[in-house]
């Protein structure tokens, strides 16, 4: 899985104000489908490999893959 | 279909008006419009209202008859259109279709939004409801975040620079300073734009349109009757409304808006013109990157080159294709439901030669592009002197 695009959100909607700044990304899964999720840990850039860390409330949380 | 003309326009200033409610703004624009078109309330045969989120911002629903009553136009069809930021353009499209089809002769179109009575996080949440709330928005996206992700990919794929985004903001602020109806009449430098407070990387506050209150209205009539009302009718040469994939992560390529390309192709064909014939444009710069992508999707700049086209000065009032001489959503303001109708007003003012300090040297054939959401709705309009 890899990052198609990403952004760090500084100005968050009401429900997520306490979590800002946080990074979100559109991730291309291995089957070619795409999903919007959160990034945990170090910031990622376009084309970085990521892995699924967990799913919370239907939202996938990814982290940068080791290599 | 019969040709249709705009015979009158009216608008409020866009800005922050704590003591004005949604209805009073819409009524002010509507009254000015009726007066401008020399039409009495009793002559109006149908009322089309563009409004995105009156129920969420104001707690008021059923807005079209509510506003029509305020204008003294009772008993006729009064309908609200919602298509996120393209709500105004969508109302305009359907009003045009009804007049073109011969269903009505005199139709009033208004757009309105009252946004500034809410806090910024609440505004972000209401705007986010125009995206996929069960997907991208649940992950913490906002509209600035969606367009930031478009900008990142555009920069990655085409080498668009941060400075190119800033050039859009600098130009639109300079233009807005000449517009007495603009929300923000403040010239900014490229350094200021680059150093703005971050909203969603790489976008700063200077890349984002304004949260504004405001309303705009236009009157439509068959071209053959236009002379009864105005000496300066403006012909709707073409208008097209289209739709596309809803969520950003459902799109194959997020650096282009297929809905805009589709609407543009239809509009150019209907008007019998191409992008090179267009003399000026009002484009949907909800974010600086959106103006850059629109330049490409509308055929004004080659694919991937919208940023360079802007940085080279091509879209300045003195350039080959002036864009957003009004200041655009960036400086004029973006009262969401009013925006699409406001763009039509600004095109009409230019074509009539009534744009004051904003007046462009070439102003006979203008194009407006109104985008909804992250590209799920689009309306493209081409207008010319009748």
Pairing of strands B4-11, B214-222: antiparallel
pLDDT in the model for residue A26: 98
CA distance A48 to A27: 10
pLDDT in the model for residue B231: 96
Q: Does the pTM of the predicted model rise above 0.90?
A: yes
Q: Which of B359, B333, B218 is nearest to B279 (CA)?
A: B359
Residue B75, token pair as written in the block: 């008993």
Mean pLDDT of A42-63: 97
Instruction: Give per-residue pLDDT as tens, B172-217.
Output: 999 999 999 999 999 999 999 999 999 999 999 999 999 999 999 9
Q: Is the pLDDT of residue A14 over 80?
A: yes
- Out of B94, B154, B173, B334, the active site residue is B334
pLDDT in the model for residue B386: 87
CATH of B142-208+237-385, one of 3.40.47.10, 3.40.50.300, 3.40.50.720, 3.60.150.10: 3.40.47.10
Instruction: Give per-residue pLDDT as tens, B217-229.
Output: 999 999 999 999 9
Q: Is the pLDDT of residue A22 over 80?
A: yes
The partner residue sitting opposite A11, judged by closest CB among B134, B137, B142, is B142
Q: A66: pLDDT confidence band, cut at 50, 70 and 90?
A: confident
Cross-chain residue pair B142–A9, CB shorter than 8 Å: yes
pLDDT in the model for residue B187: 98
Instruction: Give per-residue pLDDT as tens, B280-332.
Output: 999 999 999 999 999 999 999 999 999 999 999 999 999 999 999 999 999 99
Mean pLDDT of A36-56: 98
Q: With contacts defined as CB-CB under 8 Å, which chain B residues touch A19?
A: 140
Residue B81 phi, psi (nearest 5): -115, 130
Largest CA distance in chain A: 35
CB A60 within 8 A of CB A15: no
Q: Which of B106, B110, B108 is nearest to B226 (CA)?
A: B106
Q: Which positions ≥6 away from B339 have C-beta within 8 Å?
A: B85, B88, B89, B111, B113, B284, B329, B370
Does domain B4-118+212-235 sit in CATH 3.40.47.10? yes
Stretch(es) of chain B classified as CATH 3.40.47.10: 4-118+212-235, 142-208+237-385
Q: With contacts defined as CB-CB under 8 Å, which chain A residues touch B202?
A: 7
Helices and strands of chain B, counted as H and E runs: 13, 11
Decide: helix, strand or coil at residue B220. Answer: strand
CA distance B198 to B204: 4
User: A18 at the B interface (CB within 8 A)?
Assistant: no
Residue B360, token pair as written in the block: 């462009």
User: A2 at the B interface (CB within 8 A)?
Assistant: no
User: A5 at the B interface (CB within 8 A)?
Assistant: yes
Cross-chain residue pair B121–A19, CB shorter than 8 Å: no
- Does B85 qualify as catalytic in the annotation? yes
Smallest CA–CA distance, residue B144 to chain A, in Å, is 8
**Distance separating the N- and C-terminal Cα atoms of chain B:** 16
User: B120 at the A interface (CB within 8 A)?
Assistant: yes
DSSP string, B140-163: T--HHHHHHHHHHHHHHHH---HH
Look up residue B356 and give its DSSP letter: G
User: B249 at the A interface (CB within 8 A)?
Assistant: yes
CB B301 within 8 A of CB B315: no
ipTM above 0.95, yes or no: yes
Smallest CA–CA distance, residue A66 to chain B, in Å, is 23
Look up residue B118 and give its DSSP letter: S
pLDDT in the model for residue A67: 64
Q: Where are the alpha helices (DSSP H) in chain B?
A: 22-36, 54-58, 63-71, 87-100, 120-128, 143-158, 162-176, 190-194, 258-271, 288-297, 306-311, 328-331, 336-352
B123: nearest CA partner in chain A: A13
Mean pLDDT of A5-33: 96
Q: Which of B242, B156, B239, B169 is nearest to B199 (CA)?
A: B169
CB B218 within 8 A of CB B8: yes
- Which residues of chain B have a pLDDT value below 70? none
Burial label for B53, CB within 10 Å (0-12, 13-18, 19+), is: buried
């Amino acid at each position: 899985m890899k990052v198609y695009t990403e952004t760090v959100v500084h100005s968050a909607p009401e429900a997520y104000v306490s979590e800002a700044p946080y990074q979100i990304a559109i991730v291309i899964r291995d089957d070619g489908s795409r999903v919007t999720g959160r990034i945990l840990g170090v910031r990622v850039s376009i084309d970085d490999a990521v892995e699924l860390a967990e799913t919370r409330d239907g939202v996938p949380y990814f982290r940068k893959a080791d290599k | 279909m019969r040709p249709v003309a705009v015979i009158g326009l009216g608008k409020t200033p866009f800005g922050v008006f704590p003591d004005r409610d949604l209805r009073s703004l819409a009524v002010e624009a509507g009254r000015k419009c009726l007066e401008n078109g020399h039409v009495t309330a009793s002559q109006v045969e149908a009322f089309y209202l563009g409004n995105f989120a009156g129920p969420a911002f104001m707690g008021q629903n059923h807005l079209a008859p509510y506003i029509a009553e305020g204008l003294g136009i009772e008993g006729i069809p009064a309908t609200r259109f919602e298509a996120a930021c393209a709500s105004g353009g969508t109302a305009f499209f359907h009003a045009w279709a009804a007049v073109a089809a011969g269903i009505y002769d005199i139709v009033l179109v208004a757009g309105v939004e009252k946004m500034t009575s809410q806090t910024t996080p609440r505004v972000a949440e209401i705007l986010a409801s125009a995206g996929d709330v069960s997907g991208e928005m649940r992950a913490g996206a906002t509209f600035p975040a969606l367009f930031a992700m478009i900008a990142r990919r555009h920069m990655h794929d085409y080498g668009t620079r941060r400075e190119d985004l800033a050039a859009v903001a600098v130009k639109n602020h300079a233009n807005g300073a000449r517009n007495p109806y603009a929300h923000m009449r403040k010239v900014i430098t490229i350094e200021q734009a680059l150093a703005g407070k971050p909203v969603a990387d790489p976008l700063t506050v200077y890349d984002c349109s304004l949260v504004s209150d405001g309303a705009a209205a236009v009157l439509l009539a068959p071209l053959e009757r236009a002379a009864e009302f105005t000496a300066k009718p403006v012909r709707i040469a073409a208008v097209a409304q289209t739709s596309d994939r809803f969520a950003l992560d459902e799109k194959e390529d997020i650096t282009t808006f297929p809905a805009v390309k589709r609407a543009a192709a239809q509009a150019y064909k209907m008007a019998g013109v191409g992008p090179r014939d267009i003399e000026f444009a009002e484009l949907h710069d909800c974010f600086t990157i959106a103006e850059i992508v629109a330049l490409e999707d509308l055929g004004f700049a080659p694919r991937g080159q919208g940023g360079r086209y802007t940085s080279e000065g091509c879209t300045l009032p003195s350039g080959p294709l002036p864009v957003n001489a009004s200041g655009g959503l960036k400086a004029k303001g973006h009262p969401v439901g009013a925006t699409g109708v406001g763009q039509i007003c600004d095109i009409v003012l230019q074509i009539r030669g009534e744009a004051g300090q904003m007046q462009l040297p070439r102003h006979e054939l203008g194009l407006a592009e109104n985008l909804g959401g992250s590209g799920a709705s689009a309306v493209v309009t081409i207008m010319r002197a009748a």
